[in-house]
Structure 1
Amino acid sequence: MKHRAGEVLADVQIPRIKVPAHPIPRQMLTAEKEALRERIKELLQQRNAVLVAHYYTESDLQDLADETGGCVADSLEMARFAAEHPAQTLVVAGVRFMGETSKILNNEKLVLMPDLMATCSLDENCPIELFSDFCDRHPDHTVVVYANTSAEVKARSDWVVTSGIALPVIRHLAAQGEKILWGPDQHLGRYIQRQTGVEMILWPGSCVVHEEFKAEALEELRQRHPEAAVLVHPESPEEVVAQADVVGSTTALIQAVRRLPNKEFIVATDAGIFNKMRQLAPEKILLGAPTAGEGATCESCARCPWMEMNTLERLAYVLETGEGEIKVAPDLAARARIPIQRMLDFAKTLAE
């Protein structure tokens, strides 16, 4: 069905997902937390393991990854780092599709996650049965999916992209005369359409964190802080993206805080990103974009409840027990690796 001029939103009834309540972390004394951190460091060494953490996880996990020679990054860089690291065990602090991507690119390695129940609303909004059926109904379209998808959806796609490389990939495909079926984030797809002018069929998924940012409340905050630069992830609604000084991936937003001369920044993405921003630009003032305002439900409040399932205690537990293993069948991993590798190869041509 037509959603607006030049845009086609998939006429699919996606499942309604249950968003978990934000976990209430157990308060630990400083000495207890430090002892736990030291135990985790010992276990990482004993298991020949490396910790890779997403920018949206809690600061304790990010700091521990940095301190132990691991990696704090976006989902693709986490997987690439793991592929190049000699450790035979990868501990992925993030959500399930990130662990799966690491396993797909490192199938011979053991991949553990602190909590296998940590999923993603975009992944949940795009079940393989519905998505595959929809793709079958549009066989003349090239299927491009965002990295925030299951291994099965990746295997059904022609290309996998991150928010950082989506624009050049879509421009490349359009120049080849290909028609695009995009999934699962409709806001990111809509942003790409506005930037490229390419008509795409958009899967109707969205991120529970980014969808909560409110344009009217953001405008009011901008008026109170007229010198602040507004940084927005393109998974946000169009009315929020329209107010941005910088629109980009998590990595691009972090770089903007270092690069731009502004003293203040209003940031419309998961608040977990503030940890790395403060490390790299401690003199800057960071303000969270508002999720309050007319129509707000605040299921997320700018923090992903699934990311918050990753804790120091859960990390120690999986290292102690070996539980929390991510498994992807070799044949599925091989099929999912093809569109991911296609993106990686394309990224190399951009760097040349």
Structure 2
Amino acid sequence: MTSRPIAARPVADVPPVIEESLSDAERADLKARIWQRMREQDAILLAHYYTAADLQNLAVETGGCVADSLEMARFGHAASAKTLLVAGVRFMGETAKILNPEKRVLMPDLRAECSLDLSCPADDFAAFCDQHPDRTVVVYANTSAAVKARADWMVTSSIAVPVVRHLAERGEKILWAPDRYLGDYVQRTTGADMVLWQGSCVVHERFKADGIRELKREHPEAAVLVHPESPAEVIALADVVGSTTQLINAVRDLANPTCIVATDNGIFHRMHEVAPGKLLLEAPTGGRGATCVSCAHCPWMAMNGLRNLLDVLESGTNEIHVDPAIGARAVRSISRMLDFAAGRQVDVRGQSGD
């Protein structure tokens, strides 16, 4: 069953996507200066799959990682570096701090938010949970530290179905937040009794089923790859429904020479690396008459660049802080998922990072 929760707060003032424009000489100079500051400060760069190619390349070149938010935090925990540079959105920096409280966590721009996180304010969410005290609270990784602290479980998109199925088999009823599309997908897949918080991702909810059908008619050989944060009618067209890592692996492993990809187009950089001979097409986000055929890029992810990465290293600003009491509660919901994954040998990598 699904009931209507307290209305999620709408996401206002979504910033425009502004990509960093650099000459080859500027890029080389910035990367050299950043690498020097990183060595001086014992820092490592953790970049999300949806950030700019320059940041992803720099992370690899300097011994960091390019991954989803949870794997970024886990990589930072395993590394000896004292400073973690998180290129992504704010909840990713918080997750890194929760799992690495002893380390300094810096971000290029603290204004880089996530529409899912913004749509689920901690106080409103706590009130919603109080209305359903008999339900097990399961939240997606794309939430604040305070929301994770209120939850019983945190999940990534790659493990959401196994966790919810496990809880349902134990007779538990679920309160899910914040993404209503991912929640609906999990509910339909598992048959669990769930109430859904009505949040959404500003990128994934824009994909259009009609546009994908039209693109598929033009490319009948193409496989359709969809992230489960998308609307149900888009998911219904998919050959593969999966997390970021699962979609990257699908592009590599499928025999199809062409793939239509319904997720943030920042992922294309990694997809081209693992499947250089394949044609990758962005799933349409605009309907007929729209000014944008596909606007599939998170505007907050686009706030990360080489220039502000160097700025934060030189100024020491933009440090992420998490209240220790909140962090101690939040880590329990994360650890519960990690323990479950270890016991079931389930791969938790590849959550969205929106």
Give TM-score, length-normalised by structure 1.
0.96
Partner of 2:349: none
Confirm or deny: 8 A CA contact 1:232 1:246 kept in the other structure. yes
Question: Are the equivalent residues in 2 in contact too, given 1:229–1:266 (CA < 8 A)?
Answer: yes
Query: Contact between 1:270 and 1:302, CA under 8 Å: does it hold in 2?
Result: yes
Using the TM superposition, give the Cα deviation of residue 52 of structure 1 relative to its aligned residue in structure 2, in angstroms. Answer: 0.3
Q: Against the structure 1 CA distance between its residues 44 and 97, is the aligned structure 2 distance closer, same or farther, given a 3 Å change threshold?
A: same
2:238 to 229, 244, 249: 244
Amino acid at match of 1:106: N
What does 1:62-101 align with in structure 2 at a 5 Å threshold? 62-101=56-95
Which amino acid in 2 is paired with 1:110? Answer: R
Aligned to 1:4: none
SS at structure 1 position matched to 2:284: coil
- Measure, in 2, the Cα distance between the counterparts of 1:24 and 1:84: 33
Moved more, 192-201 or 117-126: 192-201
Work out which of the residue numbers 42, 50, 59 in structure 2 matches 1:56. Answer: 50
Q: Work out the CA distance in 1 between the residues paired with 2:246 and 2:19.
A: 30
Aligned letter for 1:281?
A
Q: 1:302 aligns with which of 270, 274, 296?
A: 296
SS across alignment from 1:8: coil
SS in 2 for 1:231: strand
1:23, 1:194 → 2: CA distance?
Answer: 34
Give the whole-Å Cα distance in 2 for the aligned partners of 1:188 and 1:257: 21
* Structure 1 position 121 matched with structure 2 position 115: yes
Q: Does 1:37 align with 2:31?
A: yes
Partner of 1:3: none
Residue number among 180, 186, 189 corresponding to 1:192 in the alignment? 186
CA deviation vs aligned residue, 1:173-215 (integer Å, no higher than 9, x gap): 0111100000000000000111111120000000000000001
Q: Structure 1 residue 83: deviation in Å?
A: 0.6
- Partner AA of 1:261 in structure 2: A
Structure 2 residue identity aligned to 1:228? A
Q: Which amino acid aligns with 2:57?
A: D
Residue aligning to 1:225: 219
Contact 1:212 1:298 in 2 (8 A): no
The answer to whether the 8 Å contact 2:18/2:302 transfers is: no
Matched-pair contact (CA < 8 Å) for 2:182–2:229: yes
1:158 corresponds to which of 152, 155, 160: 152
Q: Is the 8 A contact 2:66 2:72 kept in 1?
A: yes
Distance 1:300 1:105 in 2: 35
Query: Matched residues in 2 for 1:301 and 1:10: separation?
Result: 29
Superposed displacement of residue 19, structure 1: 3.9
- Per-residue deviation, 1:20: 2.8
What stretches of structure 1 of length at least 5 have no aligned partner? 1-6
The answer to whether the 8 A contact 2:286-2:293 is kept is: no
| 1:276 counterpart = 2:273 | no
Which residue, out of 254, 259, 273, partners 2:253?
A: 259
Q: d(CA) in 2 for partners of 1:33 and 1:154?
A: 37
Give distance in 1, aligned partners of 2:289 and 2:104: 44
Identity of aligned residues (%): 61
In the other structure, the counterpart of 1:207 is 201
Alpha-carbon shift at residue 18 of structure 1 (Å): 1.7
Would the aligned equivalents of 2:284 and 2:293 in 1 still touch at CA under 8 Å? no
Deviation for aligned residue 1:26: 4.8
Distance across 2 between alignment mates of 1:296 and 1:82: 41
For residues 293 and 126 of structure 2, the distance between their equivalents in structure 1, rounded to whole angstroms, comes to 29
Secondary structure in 2 aligned to 1:328?
coil
Counterpart-to-counterpart distance in 2, 1:143 and 1:40: 41
Aligned residues: 346
With the length of structure 2 as denominator, give the TM-score of the two structures: 0.95
Is it true that 1:103 corresponds to 2:129 in the alignment?
Answer: no
CA apart distance, 1:308? 0.3
Distance in 2 of aligned mates of 1:182 and 1:39: 44
TM-align CA RMSD: 1.5
Q: Find the counterpart in structure 2 of residue 182 from structure 1.
A: 176
Q: Is the 8 A contact 1:157 1:339 kept in 2?
A: yes
> Conserved in 1, the CA contact under 8 Å of 2:286 and 2:294?
no
Aligned-pair CA distance for 1:11 = 2.9
Q: Which residue of 1 aligns with 2:7?
A: 13
**Where does residue 235 of structure 1 map in the other structure?**
229
Determine if contact 1:208/1:299 at 8 Å carries over to the other structure. no
Residue 328 (structure 1) aligned with residue 322 (structure 2): yes
Aligned-residue offset at 1:295: 9.2
The answer to whether the 8 Å contact 1:212/1:296 transfers is no
Q: Give the Cα–Cα distance (whole angstroms) in 2 for the partners of residues 273 and 350 of structure 1.
A: 28
Ranges of 4+ aligned residues in structure 1 off by more than 4 Å = 294-300
Q: 1:214–1:296: 8 Å Cα contact kept in structure 2?
A: no
